[in-house]
Structure 1
């Protein structure tokens, strides 16, 4: 049994009960660049210091059984490619089951349905993103020819793509054998109708992986992922008898005889059969985030929602379980903005694993848990704690870093009265365009395409767009040394009244809709007063060794330099 489904428990508890959405209608994505060492910030140091206290509180109040649970936590940075925090707890009742007597980064656990992530990753790496749109029957023609004719009795496999199965949109469930899936298995819903968690769909995907690679499932994982990424302990088979290994080997259930360790059915392996370690999960997380095995375009396509659930805060990817978090903007703010956390949960009887990536913050984490309640409350409790402490801290760290690296006044030394001031503000996301003058005239309204706009009544914010040019630049050659890192980054300016009308009911206001309150995404780059193909909302920020030195307004060619 693979308990890979996820309960809709509250994921993030904002400490301030009066937290409200930001007054700014923002673009989805990071508010500030995250390419820096997060461990240098006060926000991260405070998080690392507070986390052990949070765990001790869970032990003392009985939420976690201190003696009956063992877990390993690894938080890593995809910007620096390192572990930034780790925490290990070995429950005394389980100590004797550690094969080497030591719990560390290389201790093997069973990871349950986190296996599904490996299955999809291997398929995409081997066959490319285009396989997601390929019909399953093109690869497994034995699924054709279902004998039934009643739509209530027949799974129409010709309608189901590889991507549909990967995103839990196949509308199928039940046993994994292909003849049963073709002739006997009843449909649950039409393909692409709704997201329905399906272990059997991933068992079919395991057959897809085997067919396209002409290898067994385990051989495919080793060849496509383990060998190129240097995974040491990931396999769908337990270590061989007599082999020395580092693992937490829990016994089977005394009443039912069910066991997790050593139950290595290769029929269901692609759905939930892998063993792994926090080290190997970190290597997978770094590889995905840094597009080590995939083109960055494919990575971006893969890490997007492909369906939704009945919850406003949960979406589904392939096979990501995407949690939409309300994060406070800064350490001293009660205002929040939405950030998507890409996770995959896995659980068996006595083992559970959570894997997560936060693209906005360039961090990820894995949690591996063992014990009688591992797949129940333990994994969700630990997920909540790690997310509340470290993902929230990453948001605050980006704000803190931006305040030091991006704020300031920038001038045209050749033109008197031409300057621009950028700020980082407690309750508002992104960079603030506080002032912008050309020869003494306030021109902030230029970004709106309406020079008559009352700029003082508006909030002007700049957001990074993820377009980066690295290397030599004539605009930045006079800064730093020969070894300095130079980047030019595209940002877009958004404007709106400083105080917006009431939010929709889901955000604490009234009514079902925002009524155009939050339509910033629909107007990016639409304004082009100068007919030169460059939007009036585009700014390019020039960085040297991570510090902002120049601001280009590309619509007019204006270049402003930092005023020391």
Structure 2
């Protein structure tokens, strides 16, 4: 069974911490991680054992924010204590987080200034770009059309500008370019600042003197190009609209309100919690200057997990703004990966190799000997952060991320469907005596579905099958309940706490897999989204269902609106 439409089957589990399934999963994963980190071998790759330290923290929107349901830490015996590193790693230990800084920068912009600024040209806020746009350039091949570059295009890597000014320039890294056959450069073509291990960061004047000479990569809004330059510019936009330094705005808009005490845009003052790998090139002490909005922030696994939790709980943005933010803005060459602002959006199956589609809103980071992952799983109300420091950090985080996700997602799916079924599964009968109308809701590994729907003695599912056959549609495999994010408070409850009504749509799923069917580019299952709200009777859609919940979130009544009846849950 596959589905291109089904989203959350109900709502995130109310208490993951008390789930026996989570306890078992947590214990098993902890032991497996220990073995892999000690041996350096796993199904997802190998790495040099004991060289890297790791922190993994996972929280739920429904549990207490101070109590992660998974918290794992491993301290490499090679940590550089002489440089100030701790030897005891906890969820509050501080790492460099690299490009996860981009999420904090974007969030600061959204919280402080909303969506209106998204469509403004960047030239409105950065005078150096405004002056560059005013010049009468003859060729768009050598000059960025800055007046066409919006703030939103920068946050979503769709501005068409390049990745970096000088940080990735071989001439700024002591690279033996003469020995590789590259031509000799004139002094003015060699960067004198960069912000890497070879050269100090560029100040604003130096940066624009060099960056404005760079050729565009694509025309704006053509295709995503990962751009650190874009987020340095977003830092300047923030300072312009906020009339304050970047680190001050980050503190006042995000770090302070969310009490992220382990997070800072400058050198962390809280000595004793730092995680510093061995060697002089760990990157912990590198000053990124005005590149901080793109990759310079410090944080802990606890703070990042709680940041994601705050986003999913709409603590600073409205639910509408959060939903708007957590959407893809562009596809990539992979059918499983899209780009947001600045989300890296992966798609998988709820059973990894099969099941419904699950979207993971993530942001990765890599700087020096640090690699990091922040992941938001909206379907389950879960956020996880993975921070790694050490010479093998890239390999370790790849292995750890796969181990966590491939074991966690099916468990979350089981718990979510199980709780949804506990609240909703059962038989509902008409409140009108003698009408012979009933609905039975059940669950399978994919989600909730209508096992039976009888109205006035007529089998509605059989009618739907007949209608599909008559109209040339594929056979209906199931009638799935699709959550809509529409809800209100019902005035009909007689208790002190009022009932809640939530809306569902019934999706008549026709996407059964057939191994003998040839592969199709235009997969028929992709048309499921267009079938919603397509058939009405008396101006009410056939698929329009309202579920009435009591104060505990348990369904007491289902209202298939098209039949103008309310069905009460049988005891």
TM tier relative to shorter chain: 0.7 to 0.9
Q: Which residue of 1 aligns with 2:144?
A: 155
Secondary structure in structure 1 of the residue aligned to 2:451: strand
Distance 1:288 1:447, change over 3 A: farther
How many residues are paired up? 516
Cα separation, 2, equivalents of 1:313 and 1:26: 13
Distance 1:69 1:98, change over 3 A: farther
Cα contact 1:313–1:325 (8 A) shared by 2:
yes
Is 1:132 aligned to residue 118 of structure 2? yes
Moved more, 444-453 or 392-401: 444-453
Distance 1:500 1:283, change over 3 A: closer
Q: Which residue of 2 aligns with 1:323?
A: 346
Q: Which residue of 1 aligns with 2:530?
A: 522
Distance 1:519 1:163, change over 3 A: same
Distance 1:220 1:275, change over 3 A: same
Q: Which residue of 1 aligns with 2:214?
A: 185
Cα separation, 1, equivalents of 2:268 and 2:526: 54
Cα separation, 1, equivalents of 2:256 and 2:428: 49
1:300 shift after superposition? 0.7
Is 1:366 aligned to residue 385 of structure 2? yes
Give the alignment partner of residue 344 of structure 1, picking from 344, 351, 363. Answer: 363
Cα separation, 2, equivalents of 1:451 and 1:138: 55
Q: Which residue of 1 aligns with 2:187?
A: none
Q: Which residue of 1 aligns with 2:373?
A: 354
Cα contact 2:545–2:561 (8 A) shared by 1:
yes
Give the alignment partner of residue 44 of structure 1, picking from 18, 22, 29. Answer: 22
Give the alignment partner of residue 50 of structure 2, picking from 51, 67, 91. Answer: 67
Query: Structure 2: which 5+ residue stretches go unaligned?
Result: 166-201
Cα separation, 2, equivalents of 1:271 and 1:497: 45
How do 1:88-127 residues align onto structure 2 when only pairs under 5 Å count? 88-94=73-79, 96=81, 99-127=85-113
Distance 1:357 1:246, change over 3 A: same
TM-score by length of 2: 0.84
Distance 1:210 1:28, change over 3 A: farther
Distance 1:71 1:346, change over 3 A: same
Q: Which residue of 1 aligns with 2:484?
A: 465
Cα separation, 2, equivalents of 1:186 and 1:451: 55
Distance 1:311 1:214, change over 3 A: same
Cα separation, 1, equivalents of 2:144 and 2:417: 50
Q: Which residue of 2 aligns with 1:377?
A: 395
Distance 1:503 1:130, change over 3 A: farther
Q: Which residue of 1 aligns with 2:34?
A: 56
Is 1:513 aligned to residue 522 of structure 2? yes
Q: Which residue of 2 aligns with 1:433?
A: 450
Cα contact 1:448–1:536 (8 A) shared by 2:
no
Moved more, 289-298 or 41-50: 41-50
1:95 shift after superposition? 7.0
Give the alignment partner of residue 547 of structure 2, picking from 519, 525, 541. Answer: 541
Cα separation, 2, equivalents of 1:119 and 1:351: 19
Cα contact 1:111–1:352 (8 A) shared by 2:
yes
Q: Which residue of 2 aligns with 1:30?
A: 8
1:449 shift after superposition? 11
1:499 shift after superposition? 4.3
Give the alignment partner of residue 490 of structure 1, picking from 503, 508, 518. Answer: 503
Is 1:553 aligned to residue 568 of structure 2? no
1:548 shift after superposition? 1.9
1:249 shift after superposition? 3.1
Query: Structure 1: which 5+ residue stretches go unaligned?
Result: 1-21
Secondary structure in structure 2 of the residue aligned to 1:170: coil
Cα contact 1:112–1:347 (8 A) shared by 2:
yes
Is 1:212 aligned to residue 241 of structure 2? yes
Cα contact 1:30–1:360 (8 A) shared by 2:
yes
1:327 shift after superposition? 2.1
Secondary structure in structure 2 of the residue aligned to 1:203: helix
